[in-house]
Amino acid sequence: MVVGGSIVYGYAGRILHVDLTTGKVHTEPLSEELARKYIGGIGLGIRLLLEHCPQGVDPFSPENPLILTTGPLSGTMAPTGGNGHAFVAKSPQSYGVGEAKSHGHFGTELKRAGYDAVIIKGKAEKPVYLWIDDDSVQILDAKHLWGKSPAETEDAIREELGDYYIRVASIGPAGEKLVRIAAIINDKTRAAGRTGMGAVMGSKNLKAIAVRGTKDVQVADLEGFQEFVKMMHERMKGPATRKYRTLGTPLNVLVHNALHVMPVRNYNNAHFEAAEKVSGEELNRRFVAKIIGCNSCAMRCEHICVVPEGPYKGTVTRMEYEPLWALGPYCGIDRLDAIIKAMDLCNYYGMDSISAGVIVAFAMDCYENGILTKEDFGGIEANFGNHEALVQLIDKMGRREGIGDILAEGVKRAAEKIGKGSEKLAQHIKGVEVTGYDLRALKTCALGFAVSFRGADHNRHGSYGFDIKGKFDRLKYEKGRAKFVKDMEDQYTIIDSLIVCKFGRGTYYEGFEDFAKLYTLTTGIQVTAEEMRLTGERINNIARLFNVREGLGRKDDHLPWKVMNHPIPDEGPSKGAYVSKEELDMMLDDYYEVRGWTREGIPTLEKLRELGLEEFADIVKAKIGQGA
């Protein structure tokens, strides 16, 4: 709803522009059209990226904008919706759309300060941090913070500005050194982790964004909103969130392992013989000290682990399945205390823990194959399973020391530098490292990964669910499944644009109907379930448009080398599985058809018209003219 020229409910109604080169800041109103068409979060972020990022710029160029967004629910009591924020920029890993969300307490504070989006351009001459104190925006010196971890930075900023309730999102040493997997971390353990957003921030000499907001956040229909929230609270006590409330995502370890769909030792295996030792059950029994919650959440999931004894005694960190898998089984590591330590180091340096683990496993594979030697590693015997090597390699990567300088480039670029066939060991899609689902034996999931607009990722579609829960034959791709992947993608973009937590996705029993209802109650902008679905599709299409504009196409919707060339060797339920070239082609043809794109994966003019995206027709005209 618009009052006096600005949106008043849910949204703050303002976009903040910051130019770090000139030091100038200004605000502009958020139009209702932009809000309605792109919601917020990654939707609004990617739309703004298309407008503010010139074609073909280097991701580390001052021209690449770092865009921070909240969702319309941020700052309200909507369960898990009150707390989200997203970062969007051109990715230094994929050179296409980079985006990462995080939860905690930062997004809610930014909304109360009165902003739906912050667009940061340019590059500061020296290290600085941004201090957003309601309407006052200052660029302050960060020389004394350079080199500190995100957690140390957060404490230091609170101390010097003298307000405990300040929330901080910052980079660590990895972001400063342009480690391409660098994350932006808030509330000490929450990361906007994937696609290298921290490196983009580092390239701007921007150490941190500190926020304090004191304004009211209002919703359009308080009574209806309250009823809806009450219903969601009840649903969140039920089976849809049980996993997250009890063992947490590490429950996946034994589930994936039993099906032989957990990539192990850099995709050499799909089954881990020591899975019991690193299971979610074991983690909870020995290490989980408390489960805490994000702002406005009614289910809480954050399993805080403490190492009580041994060489890593005293380490405290959050743990989820993905980092546990990447830093554990994927590196052949069977010690939870070492995995927790490695996770803590990723937070310390400010790196995506998934990619960090995958890179270490790549390095270990290179070592075992004689591609890299002990000398290359500075004396480390980097065998699979060596937990000391894991910890040391993460240290080196975070500091870009020795071999770490090459590994900090991510597996794709590291393999290009190392050569000697190492590219076959580099498990990535579009330059972004794989996650903990063996794509050889989860073929609906494989399609989702191949076409994900931010590279290898389970969180753009969640289509592993079809395979793992047995809806489809996971070992064989059949035409017609792309429809299901597309529907999931369209839902997931809405989830990331409203910014609600994916752990709560099961509580939206009515899907788009629930999303539309929550959106309308909050903002007063009337939206139907069908419009919401179309918006989900629109957001996937603008992401694709950005990638197409930057030169990505069908060739980039690929799968990692081992997924297509190294069948699962383990005796058991997935033995012999891999994805052939023919199968991948069938998947892509199926998917592009369902999306209404050309055979080369370019959105058609008809599709753009259908989605109200005519303003971007030039992007596809150029490509389709070339015969795509």
Partner 1 sequence: MAAIHERRFVSADPEKCVGCAVCEYACSMKKENVFNPLKSRIRVVRIHPLINISLTCRLCEDPPCVAACPRDALTQSEENGIILVDEDKCNGCGWCIEACDYGAITLHPDKKVVFVCDLCDGDPECVKWCPEEALDFVTSDVLAQKARITAVKRLFVEALKTVPYV
219 binds partner 1 (CB under 8 A): yes
Select 472 or 519, whichever has its Cβ closest to partner 1.
519
Query: 222, 238, 311, 581: which one contacts partner 1 (CB under 8 A)?
Result: 222
501 binds partner 1 (CB under 8 A): no
Count of residues interacting with partner 1 (CB under 8 A): 37
CB of 110 to partner 1, least distance (A): 14
DSSP letter string over 157-193?
HHHHHT-TT-EEEE--HHHHTT-TTB-EEETTTEEE-
The window from 273-281, 285-293, 462-470, 568-576 that contacts partner 1 (CB under 8 A) reads: 285-293
> What tokens does 179 get?
């480690």
CB neighbour list of residue 204: distance below 8 Å, 6 or more residues apart: 20, 62, 66, 120, 122, 123, 124
Select 195 or 347, whichever has its Cβ closest to partner 1.
347
Query: 298, 343, 414, 447: which one contacts partner 1 (CB under 8 A)?
Result: 298
Strand partners, 7: 2
**Strand, helix or coil for residue 75:** coil
313 binds partner 1 (CB under 8 A): no
**Angle between helical axes of 581-595 and 443-451 (0-180°, round to 10):** 60
The window from 42-50, 216-224, 530-538, 568-576 that contacts partner 1 (CB under 8 A) reads: 216-224
Which of 43, 28, 101, 62 lies closest to 546, judged by CA? 43
The window from 229-237, 274-282, 341-349, 452-460 that contacts partner 1 (CB under 8 A) reads: 229-237
70 binds partner 1 (CB under 8 A): no
161 binds partner 1 (CB under 8 A): no
Query: 237, 313, 374, 581: which one contacts partner 1 (CB under 8 A)?
Result: 237
Q: How many Å is the maximal CA-CA distance in the chain? A: 68
**Dist. CA 597–CA 241, nearest whole Å:** 36
CB neighbour list of residue 431: distance below 8 Å, 6 or more residues apart: 91, 93, 94, 95, 410, 412, 413, 455
76 binds partner 1 (CB under 8 A): yes
CB of 154 to partner 1, least distance (A): 12
Which of 30, 505, 516, 13 lies closest to 301, judged by CA? 505
> What tokens does 561 get?
């080398």
Lookup result for tokens 């307000």:
163
Select 292 or 622, whichever has its Cβ closest to partner 1.
292
Select 76 or 284, whichever has its Cβ closest to partner 1.
76
**Residue 164 burial by Cβ neighbours in a 10 Å radius (0-12, 13-18, 19+):** exposed
294 binds partner 1 (CB under 8 A): yes
Lookup result for tokens 């408390």:
290
CB of 217 to partner 1, least distance (A): 4
DSSP letter string over 342-388?
HHHHHHHHTB-HHHHHHHHHHHHHHHHTTSS-TTTTTS----TT-HH
CB of 107 to partner 1, least distance (A): 13
Query: 33, 125, 216, 309: which one contacts partner 1 (CB under 8 A)?
Result: 216
295 binds partner 1 (CB under 8 A): yes
Residue 51, number of CB atoms within 10 A of its CB: 13
Select 223 or 375, whichever has its Cβ closest to partner 1.
223
**8 vs 114, 196, 216, 419, CA distance in Å?**
11, 33, 10, 56
Which of 128, 61, 106, 63 lies closest to 211, judged by CA? 106
242 binds partner 1 (CB under 8 A): no
Chain positions 452 to 491 lying near partner 1, rule: CB under 8 A, are: none
The window from 75-83, 118-126, 343-351, 403-411 that contacts partner 1 (CB under 8 A) reads: 75-83
Query: 21, 292, 509, 612: which one contacts partner 1 (CB under 8 A)?
Result: 292
Select 105 or 123, whichever has its Cβ closest to partner 1.
105
End-to-end Cα distance, the chain: 41
**Dist. CA 237–CA 248, nearest whole Å:** 14
Sign of CA dihedral 441, 445, 448, 452: negative
The answer to whether the beta carbons of residues 182 and 171 sit under 8 Å apart is yes
CB of 523 to partner 1, least distance (A): 14
Select 82 or 560, whichever has its Cβ closest to partner 1.
82
**Residue 31 burial by Cβ neighbours in a 10 Å radius (0-12, 13-18, 19+):** middle
Per-residue DSSP letter, 270: S
Chain positions 111 to 130 lying near partner 1, rule: CB under 8 A, are: 112
CB of 161 to partner 1, least distance (A): 17
304 binds partner 1 (CB under 8 A): yes
240 binds partner 1 (CB under 8 A): no
The window from 63-71, 217-225, 364-372, 553-561 that contacts partner 1 (CB under 8 A) reads: 217-225
Strand partners, 141: 128
The answer to whether the beta carbons of residues 93 and 181 sit under 8 Å apart is yes
CB of 54 to partner 1, least distance (A): 38
Query: 26, 143, 290, 417: which one contacts partner 1 (CB under 8 A)?
Result: 290
233 binds partner 1 (CB under 8 A): yes
Query: 57, 77, 139, 605: which one contacts partner 1 (CB under 8 A)?
Result: 77
CB of 77 to partner 1, least distance (A): 4
Element (H, E) at 16: strand 14-19
299 binds partner 1 (CB under 8 A): yes
Select 218 or 565, whichever has its Cβ closest to partner 1.
218
**Dist. CA 472–CA 487, nearest whole Å:** 15
> What tokens does 98 get?
């980079």
Site string for partner 1, 316-345 (x = CB under 8 A): x-x---------------------------
511 binds partner 1 (CB under 8 A): no
Query: 52, 286, 300, 566: which one contacts partner 1 (CB under 8 A)?
Result: 300
Select 237 or 621, whichever has its Cβ closest to partner 1.
237
φ/ψ of residue 519, rounded to 5: -65, -45
211 binds partner 1 (CB under 8 A): no
Q: Note the residues at the interface with partner 1 (CB under 8 A).
A: 75-77, 82, 105, 112, 165, 188-189, 214-219, 222, 226, 233, 236-237, 289-300, 302, 304, 306, 316, 318
